Amino acid sequence: MNSNVLKIFIGYDPVESVAWHTMAHSILARSSAPVALIPVNIANLKGIYTRERDAKQSNEFSFTRFLVPYLAGYEGYAAFFDCDMMLRTDVAELFKLAAADPSKAVHVVQHDYEPKDDIKYLNTVQYRYPRKNWSSVVLWNCAHPANRRVTPEFVNTASAMELHRFQWLQDEQLGALNVRWNWLVGEYAEPPEDVHNVHWTVGGPYFHEYKNADFSQEWFAEFGRMSFCLQRPENS
């Protein structure tokens, strides 16, 4: 694949398929560079991902997200996003941030917060742990030597703590992104006007009980553009 193509992996879960497609559209509609959008879909990873589902998982891509360096052939840069998001800016700007500091193995928004709710979408338990939501947006330097450890075997056997806290890395190998790249709706108040990436971590507008969440009208507008199909006039 040409190095100018931005490799973007988005977690896929069939219980919120509409979220994946709308998130993908938000990237396509704003990117100034060619993009390759890859669903991280457990159904497509037979023989690669063999881990049993953890009772604490809130979605199907809780652990498969860490296969990105392997799936990218340990080459170049690749971004991972949860599906319950919407880009409001050019994703190419995110890749420029990582390329400017190749010493980092990953770039993430380093959240420091306590979830406000005990239950989130579909009655899923909201667990609290250090570095929560750091792994929901990851810009991977797939060629970084430290990421060679992230093999399918490691992803299949490492603890949730090792993976979601990026414990195979030294702290100085973790780059920090501005919170605008992973704005947590329902957790952060008073969003700035230039939020780059909206994250409905508690529940997206496509769930009835969250239809009035912050930025919901923007999501419904994006969904409408995603599902648009030009029709010929009737009786023509």
| Torsion sign over Cα 192, 194, 197, 203 | positive
pTM of the model: 0.94
pLDDT of residue 126: 66
Residue 89 has a pLDDT of 98
Percent of the chain with pLDDT strictly greater than 90: 83
Across the chain, what does the average pLDDT equal?
A: 93
In this predicted model, what pLDDT tens digit does every residue of 90-130 receive, in sequence order? 999 999 998 899 999 999 999 987 776 756 654 575 666 67
Residue 7 · residue 78 · CB < 8 Å:
yes
Whether the predicted pLDDT of 50 surpasses 90? yes
Quick one: 6-226 is in which CATH superfamily? Spore Coat Polysaccharide Biosynthesis Protein SpsA; Chain A (3.90.550.10)
pLDDT value for 130 = 76
Average pLDDT over residues 11-27: 97
- List pLDDT tens digits, range 143-165: 999 999 999 999 999 999 999 99
In angstroms, the CA 233 to CA 13 distance is 36
Query: What percentage of the chain's residues is helix, strand, coil (to nearest 5)?
Result: 35, 20, 50
Q: Can you give the pLDDT at residue 2?
A: 82
Distance, CA of 131 to CA of 129 (rounded, Å): 6
Alpha-carbon distance of 209 to 207, in angstroms, equals 6
Q: Contact at 8 Å (CB) between 85 and 25?
A: no
Asked if 77 and 138 touch (Cβ cutoff 8 Å), the reply is no
Q: What is the mean pLDDT of residues 82-95?
A: 98
Residue 114 has what pLDDT?
Answer: 75
